[in-house]
A and B are shown apart, each in its own frame.
Chain A
């Protein structure tokens, strides 16, 4: 579930408030705030849409988890980078089209 929105990284664009399918965020004073943690469906999509990598989602989908900002720091933005989202597209191509070949090799294994 959603675990962190670091206001010192956030640029206040508010896109997370707009795009969250579960309406987890509210616009606060200057930056969005996590308003409804329990509604989070752990889809990680807010991380894709957050240009500044201010958001961190913990993989536990059943209960909220407290995270240490220093500890998660190297993980910030990794999912967005690997997805090749936005400005990352040139360096991280979307290889999803190789799925067929991977399934075929599993069948042959």
Chain B
């Protein structure tokens, strides 16, 4: 297959929330920008099916932000950095109103509600904004690998227009990795394209990762459904299979309690406490939340329905590519990371950033990375760093997916972790990695790369989880149930075949310095 070659100043890989903001910020610096997306810019990524309410704190009086940051920093259990929190709050506050030409914000009594945007409309607006700003969008164009220059800096990427079966290379002065997180094939809503592609490409190019042990957040959903829109569950009551009400209260502990109940048997949810006026407007607040119930003839406010937990991986987990400067550059010169492709340890610490912090991070880190990338315009001679793939498949797509799901999804293994279980899971993932790393799985290159990325991400996560011999935030070790004050540091993970985990004693900006 002959390759089409494109040349640009900035290549953004991934067209979700962070990628769109990166592309828009870069093109506004007056450079040429290509935004390459595996699926479609506007429907791909976890924002498009969600409805993020960004971290939204007014600048005045200044105590408001100081208080918000101090509270959030305390919950981060020593791993977050107040300076980065202050940056995303400020950038989010200044940015969202600029979307007004493309998103209809509701104004009530003279106050415009900028904080929360509904996903499909938000991402449709982001696409319109990117096109208006002059970004060249390539939909249905998965990237396979980065290319590097002789000096080790990034030189672009290779991929394919999958609907045309046309291979391409993009020669770029800089690359923003905005490929989202990795859901370990859990069927989390909207996460189909979130296979950790950016982690694999970045680490293969020499980048490292941070926070990979914090990859085990879960969200409730009706069984066999991916509908993890969870607002209504803030009113939920839960019951066992014989109808006894379980002692599970909405709040931060709900996941752990639900997981324990699910390990004992089926769990049923009842939303009878949702006030009638809210029930009535629900289809117009979260239309996708009501769709699965409608289609099964269930009235969730009247009928009890069975629920499950969907793993969020690094999506509402916090692990991702380590960034080394204010522009979110990675250890690979010219390679920047944004959104869930980047670590959110800086803003969330050891607990989930949830929708509010994560969307504020995506919007902010996207713009910083886009601007940082726009300042490196020099196109370099590229050498493709792809692994040579040969031989016959040893595993099928289904076998790989099943193996990952079996090790990474059950809360019994991944929420309540132990040395022995983590080692068993890692042994299996290492075996799968050995079988797929340089052999084909399917007949499609992009699909195989996504499988490899998810297996690699599972291995990084398990290695980090083994190393952190304590319980901190979402990382719970049944064999080390207590917080260890000597492990109040980040863990940096690197390497493809040989995975290394190193403690990183970063100095966070003290709160008082803000």
Contact = CB atoms under 8 A, between A and B. Distances in A.
Contacts of A41: 187, 190-193, 226
Interface string A33-68: 000000101111100110000000011111000000
Interface of B: 38-40, 42-45, 48-49, 51, 53, 104-106, 113, 115-118, 120-121, 139-140, 162-163, 187, 189-193, 222, 224-227, 231, 234-235, 250, 273, 275, 278, 281, 283-288, 290-292, 294-296
B105 A103 contact: no
A43 to B, nearest CB: 5
A29 interface: no
B284 A95 contact: yes
Given A21-B40, A100-B53, A44 B192 contact: no
A12 interface: no
B234 A83 contact: no
A32 B286 CA distance: 29
Contacts of B292: 59
Contact of A82 (B104, B190, B287): B287
Contacts of A17: 163
A43 B294 contact: no
A13 B284 CA distance: 27
A88 to B, nearest CB: 11
Contacts of A59: 222, 224-225, 227, 291-292, 295-296
A78 B294 contact: yes
Given A58-B295, A62-B187, A102 B231 contact: yes
Given A43-B43, A44-B49, A59-B227, 6 more contacts: A23-B162, A49-B43, A60-B225, A72-B295, A98-B285, A100-B53
23 contacts: A17-B163, A18-B139, A19-B42, A23-B140, A23-B163, A41-B192, A42-B226, A43-B189, A43-B192, A59-B295, A61-B225, A79-B287, A79-B291, A83-B287, A96-B51, A96-B117, A97-B106, A97-B116, A98-B281, A99-B286, A100-B53, A107-B234, A109-B273
B116 A100 contact: yes
Contact of B235 (A18, A99, A109): A109
Nearest to A58: B295
A82 B283 contact: yes
B192 A39 contact: yes
A108 to B, nearest CB: 11
A79 B273 contact: no
Given A23-B140, A59-B292, A97 B105 contact: yes
B248 to A, nearest CB: 14
Contacts of B278: 102, 105
Contact of B294 (A61, A75, A94, A99): A75
Max chain B CB contacts within 10 Å: which of A19, A96, A107?
A96
B453 to A, nearest CB: 16
A95 B285 contact: yes
Nearest to A99: B116
A21 B288 contact: no
Nearest to A78: B294
Given A20-B40, A41-B190, A45-B120, A60 B287 contact: no
Contacts of B296: 59
Interface in A1-43: 17-23, 39, 41-43
A82 B48 contact: no
B211 to A, nearest CB: 25
A59 B293 CA distance: 8
B187 A61 contact: yes
A85 to B, nearest CB: 7
A71 to B, nearest CB: 10
Max chain B CB contacts within 10 Å: which of A20, A39, A49, A98?
A98
Contacts of A94: 104, 106, 118, 121, 284
A69 interface: no
